[in-house]
Amino acid sequence: MKKYNFSAGPSILSPYTIENTAKGILNLNDSGLSVMEISHRSKDFIAILAEAQELFKELLRIPDGYSVLFLHGGASLQFAMIPYNYLNKKAAYLDTGTWAANAIKEAKLFGEVAVVGSSKDKIYNYIPKDYTVPADADYFHITTNNTIYGTEIKKDLDCKVPLIADMSSDIFSRPMDVSKYTMIYGGAQKNLAPAGVAFVIIKNDSLGKVDRAIPTMLSYATHIEKDSMFNTPPCLSIYAALHTLRWYKQIGGIEVMYKANLKKAALLYDEIERNKMFVANIPNVEDRSIMNVTFVMSEAYKEKEADFAKFASSLGIVGIAGHRSIGGFRASIYNAMPIETVAVLTNAMKEFESKN
Ligand SMILES: *Cc1c(COP(=O)(O)O)cnc(C)c1O
């Protein structure tokens, strides 16, 4: 049976990525070798890494003076590396969910943390807007897309202190102005590649401002200097990322991706609004994520939640259970998801409504 995978992460990758990665696993560029069994210092792998970095720069229009790194440890290791490398006295954080809170927890190990705003009071169902970032903060950290709750900061903020963003679940989903950020990072397993690699876009001259000694592997300076090759990088995940990046370019780049994402999100949110059985979890329309759409049963149909889950599953719809912290449903409609798959879900919602 065909499956429609709405999993939040690891999540779907484009067929282009999976097919071409599979080819390289069996026989890389007709070399008779697998991409998994060649040296990371071989000509073939160095070309893979260089093209992936180039495509990052081209697709996101990354200005000169930034490096693109591929590191181990997922987004969660970045939660610690960021304060290790940047927090001298005080850092500012916006608390928009579990991932933001995890980042805050790590930063507190290194210095003073000013949590300038939090939406925890309403189970993170909005993006705080009235806050002031202290002018003496070493940096301001935000999570642009809150994967668990379905909220998103959809524009690049103007910020007087260095801006650092976790874009694990919305990188490449919209055009953005990288020059507004000092550092952008994320785990690859939502919009880029299988798990095992984190991407980091970092302004080269932003480092060297903390007094502490930094272990070699945890220092961004090491990875910039060694171009992500200080030790063996996660070669296979980087290879898969390269194919996703090629696919982004092939379909016309990030503007095209963005338009498709807006259409997909509108299709699903419109159905949630129209359908008497469902309610969007995020009340404020401008805070609604175009990557993770969260919704619950409306008051009158609360007891139908398990029935809908079963009905959806009978149609091959997979991965729509909400995160255990908020319940209900979450449909992750990442870049690789075609609108036809979103329509399978909206049609299921319509059918379920007419049956009830
Ligand atoms: C998934 C996710 C993370 C965690 O990524 P890991 O690579 O598992 O550490 C962090 N932040 C956001 C916004 C996420 O969606």
Mean of pLDDT values over 23-47: 97
Q: Distance, CA 29 to ligand 1 centroid (Å)?
A: 32
Distance CA 276, CA 330 (A): 18
Distance CA 35, CA 44 (A): 9
Mean of pLDDT values over 23-31: 97
Last residue of a domain, one of 200, 224, 250: 250
Residues 284, 230 share a domain? no
Q: According to the model, what pLDDT value does residue 326 have?
A: 87
Residues 258, 244 share a domain? no
Residues 302, 234 share a domain? no
Q: Which are the contacts of 352, defined by CB distance < 8 A and separation ≥ 6?
A: 277, 304, 307, 308, 311
Distance CA 305, CA 321 (A): 10
Q: According to the model, what pLDDT value does residue 282 have?
A: 98
Residues 93, 236 share a domain? yes
* Helices and strands in the chain: count of H runs, count of E runs: 9, 14
pLDDT above 90 (res 123): yes
Last residue of a domain, one of 188, 221, 250: 250
Q: According to the model, what pLDDT value does residue 356 have?
A: 94
Residues 296, 192 share a domain? no
Q: Model confidence over 48-88: pLDDT tens digits?
A: 999 999 999 999 999 999 999 999 999 999 999 999 999 99
What would the two tokens of residue 4 be?
A: 């429609």
Among residues 343, 336, 246, the alpha carbon closest in space to that of 12 is found at: 336
Please state the φ and ψ torsions of residue 78, each to the nearest 5 degrees.
Answer: -65, -30
Q: Which are the contacts of 26, defined by CB distance < 8 A and separation ≥ 6?
A: 34
Residues 168, 219 share a domain? yes
Residue with tokens 């210092």: 41
* Percent of the chain topping pLDDT 90: 99
Query: Is residue 9 in contact with ligand 1, taking CB distance under 6 Å?
Result: yes
Residues 185, 312 share a domain? no
Which amino acid is present at 272? I
Residues 285, 189 share a domain? no
Mean of pLDDT values over 330-351: 98
Q: Which are the contacts of 252, defined by CB distance < 8 A and separation ≥ 6?
A: none
Query: Is residue 244 in contact with ligand 1, taking CB distance under 6 Å?
Result: no
- pLDDT band at 233, cuts 50/70/90? very high
Residues 297, 348 share a domain? yes
Q: According to the model, what pLDDT value does residue 111 have?
A: 97
Residues 243, 280 share a domain? no
Residue with tokens 């969007």: 280
**Residue 273's domain is classified under what CATH number?**
3.90.1150.10
Q: According to the model, what pLDDT value does residue 325 have?
A: 85
Tell me how far CA of residue 147 lies from CA of 40, 140, 151, 152, 207, in angstroms. Answer: 32, 20, 7, 9, 29
Mean pLDDT of the chain: 97
pLDDT above 90 (res 305): yes
Q: Model confidence over 164-217: pLDDT tens digits?
A: 999 999 999 999 999 999 999 999 999 999 999 999 999 999 999 999 999 999
Whether omega before 83 lies within 30 degrees of 0, making that bond cis, reads no
Query: Is residue 99 in contact with ligand 1, taking CB distance under 6 Å?
Result: yes
The domain in which residue 323 lies consists of 4-12+253-355
Pairing of strands 329-332, 292-297: antiparallel
Last residue of a domain, one of 187, 220, 250: 250
Q: According to the model, what pLDDT value does residue 324 have?
A: 87
Q: How many domains does the chain have?
A: 2
* Nearest ligand 1 atom, CA 195: 7
Q: Model confidence over 317-327: pLDDT tens digits?
A: 999 999 988 89
Query: Is residue 144 in contact with ligand 1, taking CB distance under 6 Å?
Result: no
For a pocket test of ligand 1, which of 147, 184, 237, 294 has the largest count of ligand atoms closer than 8 A to its C-beta?
A: 147
Going by CA atoms, what residue is nearest to atom 14 of ligand 1?
A: 168
CA 140 from centroid of its chain's CA atoms: 18
pLDDT above 90 (res 273): yes
Residues 264, 204 share a domain? no
Active site residue ranges: 99, 166, 190
**Residue 141's domain is classified under what CATH number?**
3.40.640.10
- pLDDT band at 103, cuts 50/70/90? very high
Residues 215, 340 share a domain? no
What would the two tokens of residue 124 be?
A: 């993170």
